[in-house]
Amino acid sequence: MKSNHDIFSRVPIFVLIAALFVSACAARAPAPPMSAEKGMYHEEYDVATDRGFAPVPEQPASPQGAAEYASTKPSSSERMVIKNATLSLIVKDPPAAMETIAKLAEEMGGFVVSANLYKTETSSGKEIPQASITIRIPAEKLNQALDEIKALSKELPQRENLTSQDITAEYTDLDSRLRNLKRAEEQLQEILDQAYSTEDVLSVYQQLTQVREQIEVIEGQMKYYREAVALSSISVELIAEEAVEPLTIGQWKPVGVARDALQALINAVQFLLNVAIWVVIFVLPVLLLAYVIFFIPLRALWRVLRRRRQLKSKPAEPPSPPTVT
């Protein structure tokens, strides 16, 4: 049997490199571009790592760990879905409600992404607190967290939105590309071990570096997907009751009537101002141009024609009789 050295001495090294490069071309397509929303999630996961939240383990980079990594792939019956929610609640004390939501996230094994407390003014000029908070919690506890957050308000949410994004197809595609790149990496490493000339070593090493870069990019994208599926985001806007509670007298709400009347007045004034602007900027210049271009020449022509008509219709004067001397 011939040794590996004899085989590689007969087959040009560049032919082997070209064959491996062609086999890995299918995996060289760039990863799907991340949207602004996904970019936001990526930053939030950095916060999670800083706060000590246990991230999903990275895929093994060595060939020995390929079997263990294969077990982490989603099965045909398992779907990878990213779920997020947004709420707008009316509460009595927004700062206290924000603290309660933050503690709830920690108790469920999540963390606070951002929290903002500020003041707004009512129509009467009174300052009232208002808050907003965004948390991330394990996805399996999303419904439980939503129920506990909505229990902080006596009323139904002013706004509630739950979004889901199925990324199973994208994740499966990344996994296939990653396995192809790992096979190409192993073969390139074998070729590099058998190469002797400096030119061959540099050429193979360059291809191996490119393949490893692509592997790192895909592994990072897959890690982001797994973390996005494992953690759900909840954004809550907390509005004070004083900001929305109307003045009522029996069944009559004078504040609402006054607000509607004021809005109607504003709409009427806005309409009149719009009409005035159109008249000044558009109608008047058009009328002025029409007067200069059409009316003045037509009026002058009419005068000339009228004068000629008068001259034609004027009777001729009879000759004067001769004078007798």
Q: Could you tell me where the beta strands, DSSP code E, fall in the chain?
A: 81-91, 111-121, 127-138, 159-166, 231-240
Q: What's the pTM value of the predicted model, to 2 decimals?
A: 0.49
Quick one: 259 and 271 in the same domain? Answer: yes
102 in Cβ contact with 135 (< 8 Å): yes
Structure-block tokens of residue 60: 């093994």
Quick one: 240 and 252 in the same domain? Answer: no
Per-residue model confidence (pLDDT) at position 4 = 44
If one counts the domains in the chain, the total is 2
Residue where a domain stops, chosen among 226, 245, 264: 245
Quick one: 130 and 191 in the same domain? Answer: yes
DSSP for 258-279, written as a single string? HHHHHHHHHHHHHHHHHHHHHI
Quick one: 172 and 291 in the same domain? Answer: no
Q: Please write down the long-range contacts of 59-63, taking CB distance under 8 Å and 24 or more positions apart.
A: 59/178, 59/219, 59/222, 59/223, 61/215, 61/219, 63/182, 63/186
Per-residue model confidence (pLDDT) at position 31 = 44
Lowest mean pLDDT among 184-193, 257-266, 274-283: 257-266
Residue where a domain stops, chosen among 245, 273, 297: 245
* Residue with more model confidence, 196 or 21: 196
Quick one: 134 and 264 in the same domain? Answer: no
> ∠ CA 95-99-100 to the nearest 5 degrees?
115
Per-residue model confidence (pLDDT) at position 248 = 52
User: Number of C-alpha atoms within 13 angstroms, CB side, residue 309?
Assistant: 6
- Residue 324: which pLDDT band, with cuts at 50, 70 and 90? low
Reply yes or no on whether the pLDDT at 196 is more than 50. yes
Per-residue model confidence (pLDDT) at position 98 = 94
Quick one: 178 and 54 in the same domain? Answer: yes
Quick one: 180 and 114 in the same domain? Answer: yes
Quick one: 136 and 207 in the same domain? Answer: yes
Per-residue model confidence (pLDDT) at position 173 = 93
323 within some domain? no
- Residue range(s) defining the domain that contains residue 302: 246-310
Quick one: 197 and 51 in the same domain? Answer: yes
The bridge status of strand 231-240 relative to strand 111-121 is unpaired
Quick one: 188 and 55 in the same domain? Answer: yes
In angstroms, the CA 6 to CA 112 distance is 62
116 in Cβ contact with 133 (< 8 Å): yes
318 within some domain? no
Quick one: 151 and 237 in the same domain? Answer: yes
In angstroms, the CA 79 to CA 172 distance is 11
Q: What is the pLDDT of residues 212-234, one digit of tens each?
A: 999 999 999 999 999 989 999 99
Mean pLDDT across 245-272: 72
Residue where a domain stops, chosen among 218, 245, 272: 245
Quick one: 239 and 261 in the same domain? Answer: no
- Residue 81: which pLDDT band, with cuts at 50, 70 and 90? very high
Q: What is the pLDDT of residues 90-142, one digit of tens each?
A: 998 999 999 999 999 999 999 999 999 988 877 667 788 899 999 999 999 99
- Identity of the amino acid at 201: V
